[in-house]
Amino acid sequence: MLTHLDSQGHAHMVDVTDKALTFREAVAEAWVRMRPETLQLIQDGGHPKGDVLAVARIAGIQAAKKTADLIPLCHPLLLTGIKVELTTEGADAVRIVARCKLSGQTGVEMEALTAASVAALTIYDMCKAVDRGMVIESVRLLEKLGGKSGHYQAETAQ
């Protein structure tokens, strides 16, 4: 059953009032594929807009904190930890891994997914002048800990 639908099929925010506070953590990833020259420009720090990966990291952190403003039925959460890591992979990709955690009444999967997505979009925004063909792909939940549904781990990473 979809928890965001009431008995008549109308969308609503899930009431978590009676749920216990528990530790919750989620990890999500996204990939940005680009021309090797674009990645080299990022790695060399030669981009005229500045440090692409640093700006994307901050954008991801900021996005996690704003998830409830972007996704209509998400609860505003008091996140206690947000970590966004960006690594270059091979000659043509950046991998983004976002980790969010808290002690709360609802999970942080959407916050981790939002952080990874916005970090990827920021890379695109900063580099689109030199590479409009970049591809954002494989945005997905890697792991979720805590809550009633327990532990989830995605099948092997790409």
Cα pseudo-dihedral 53, 59, 61, 67, rounded to 10: -150
Which element (helix H / strand E) includes 65? helix 52-65
Catalytic residue among 44, 51, 69, 125: 125
Cα pseudo-dihedral 150, 156, 157, 158, rounded to 10: -150
Q: How far is CA 156 from the centre of its chain?
A: 18
Backbone angles phi, psi at 26, to 5 degrees: -140, 145
Told to judge if 125 belongs to the known catalytic residues of this protein, a careful annotator would answer: yes
Tokens of 45: 């720090």
Coil, strand, or helix at residue 55? helix
Residues labelled catalytic: 125
